[in-house]
Chains A and B, each alone.
Chain A
Amino acid sequence: MIVLRLVDRILARIEGWLIIAMLSLMVIFTFFQVVLRGLYTHGHLPWANTLMGQIDWSEPFVRLLVLWITFLGASLLTRDGKHIQIDLFSSILPPRWLPLRDFILSTVCASLCAMMIKVCVDYLSMEMEFGGTMFLALPTWTGQIILPAGFGLLLVHFLVKAVDQGIQTVRSIRE
């Protein structure tokens, strides 16, 4: 359990750093693209166009970051327990039932994530075999590795939550 919590914390740290790095890159690259395009079309500066050609990989790269940030952000959100959900019962259900409900929900989420890891690994192995290349001649699967990895991160966070809530449930039943 202690190990699991530690892993959970370390992963959250790493996710945080990655988000900060990726969002910064996203802002910087997109900003430079706009400026260069503006300089070329309105300032008629040929060197801006040349430079744009040099970083033509940045546009697909930034779009790929959207996918990565989605999973990293969702993963961090899991730790806060703030995923978007319909919640009709929090106010209706007696409070002592809530830990049990949360335990069930987290377990279901963890199982679904586990299934998705399997599905995404299948998909990735297909991509490794038949997939083409993306920017900078990188094979496409390298960018898509976030799919199984992202569901893996989600799985860990949901598992830790499930264990915590399981302990709480047992406690609330004993009382």
Chain B
Amino acid sequence: MIFILVLLLIVLVISGLPLFAGILGASLLGLYTSGVEFTAIPIEIVRLANSPILLAIPLFTFAGYLLSHGGTSTRLVRFSRSLLGWLPGGLGVVALVTCSFFTALTGATGITIIALGGLLYPALISERYKENFALGLMTTSGSIGLHFPPSLPIILYGFVSGTSIEKLFMAGLIPGILIIGVPSLYSIYMGKKWKLDRPRFSAGEFLGALKGAAWELPIPFLILVGIYSGLSTATEAAALTVVYVLFIKVVVFKELNVFKDLPEIMKESMKMVGGIMIILGAALAFTNYLVDAFIPMRILEFMEGLMDSKIGFLILLNIFLLLVGCMMDIFSAILVVVPLILPLADRFGIDPVHMGIIFLTNLAIGYNTPPVGLNLFIASSRFDRPVVQLYRATLPFLVLLLLTLILITYWPGLSLFLPNLFK
């Protein structure tokens, strides 16, 4: 009977049952079989109100949504164009840099592709970049930048795994730069090959663009400085960011009307927060059941019998996480998978901070992986192209990112150098 119900639940989840409901169902079934009171579930959900760090999630999300309205994206693109546009393939580099800036602030929720795609894609085409190159670039850009503060997935990983968020932010910097850097080099190479026009660097335009973007550019750096100077916690930094962004949007640029635009943006952003956090609540309950039923330990024993080398584990992990990343969105993947994997990683001597970076990189790439990677569908609807064309268009970028992933996974120093420096 239980077996049939479990099977039924799995079928429902695969066919599109909202994940929070699926996880709640799984917890109910699990608790029922192990004879524990169902009230164990609300006890865990209530924990959403117990952690100061979770407060950072609605605040940063709100700030990100505020930034995605109005002219911020235009100003940022203008600035990075004036700074990097003169490179061969410069506009491609510009797209990667601005998109990652935006993704760090808004999370890999597709906002980047939607907010910046309309601006950058036509620009790329008009500068005679090949259509498939432009499409592939814009699609992969949707999940690049997750490694930079104040990325929400990092905060969530830190919360779920009990790892220091400050350390994780530090650890993400070098891998993050690598993930932008490798596709950028590709764009430069293609720009040279196609002999694209290269506008000259103009000091006047640069200064003008700098002035235009002067309010928004410092935001990530202010957050970093605030956190690492000990001036504020991540949560306090989030509150300061919201107030700062409100100030520039409402007072400086007068782009947002407090009464007309703000309520809508608040609702939209909190819908997204609700969608993520209710899964978090359900996942807390489910994890609690798993741990009580010794499931992670059993997986550990099983895996230990299967293999005994760290490399073997990492290879398997990469494949597994890519699959997960292409099926699930990044938030639920972290919530569901991290508690299961962490004891394994610990057993094989992998630093939880490094583990977090491996996780993020895998999941970010999974977003672009055919057949069901989320970015492919967002880009397909945004640029009005068939998904199959996007499979082809993203392929070169996918290969490059996979190479970067290998580097990040098997060279822990890349992730651990900075956090160890600041210890």
Q: Do A and B come from one complex?
A: yes
A59 at the interface (CB under 8 A from B): yes
Query: How far is A27 from B239 in the complex, measured between Cα atoms in Å?
Result: 6
A27-B239, A31-B239, A119-B39 given as contacts; is B277 within 8 A of A73 (CB)? yes
CB within 8 Å of A: which B23-56 residues? 24-25, 28, 38-39, 41-43, 45-46, 48-52, 54-55
Interface pair A69/B12, CB less than 8 Å apart: no
Most chain A CB inside 10 Å of its own CB: which residue of B45, B54, B232: B45
Q: B residues within 8 A CB of A54?
A: none
A30-B55, A63-B51 given as contacts; is B16 within 8 A of A84 (CB)? no
Q: A residues within 8 A CB of B42?
A: 119-120, 123-124, 144, 147
B218 at the interface (CB under 8 A from A): no
Sorted nearest first, the 7 A-B pairs with minimum C-beta distance are A73-B274, A83-B18, A74-B274, A30-B239, A70-B277, A67-B49, A123-B42
A63-B51, A66-B48 given as contacts; is B278 within 8 A of A74 (CB)? yes
Interface pair B277/A66, CB less than 8 Å apart: yes
Which of B236, B271, B329, B331 contacts A34 (CB under 8 A)? B236
Query: How far is A144 from B329 in the complex, measured between Cα atoms in Å?
Result: 29
A46 → B minimal CB distance (Å): 20
Q: Can you spell out 29 A-B residue pairs with CB atoms less than 8 angstroms apart? A: A16-B263, A20-B262, A30-B59, A34-B232, A34-B239, A38-B231, A60-B49, A63-B49, A66-B49, A66-B57, A69-B274, A72-B274, A73-B271, A73-B277, A74-B20, A76-B270, A80-B271, A83-B19, A84-B20, A84-B276, A84-B331, A86-B328, A88-B327, A90-B16, A105-B16, A108-B25, A112-B21, A116-B41, A147-B42
B13 at the interface (CB under 8 A from A): yes
User: A residues bordering B, Cβ < 8 Å?
Assistant: 16, 19-20, 23-24, 26-27, 30-31, 33-34, 37-38, 59-60, 62-64, 66-67, 69-77, 80, 82-91, 101-102, 104-105, 108-109, 112-113, 115-116, 119-120, 122-124, 126, 143-144, 147
Interface pair B17/A105, CB less than 8 Å apart: yes
CB within 8 Å of A: which B298-352 residues? 327-329, 331-332
A59 → B minimal CB distance (Å): 7
Which of B58, B277, B279 contacts A26 (CB under 8 A)? B58
Query: How far is A164 from B259 in the complex, measured between Cα atoms in Å?
Result: 33
Query: How far is A122 from B38 in the complex, measured between Cα atoms in Å?
Result: 9
Which of B59, B266, B274 contacts A77 (CB under 8 A)? B274
A74-B275, A84-B275, A122-B38 given as contacts; is B49 within 8 A of A64 (CB)? yes
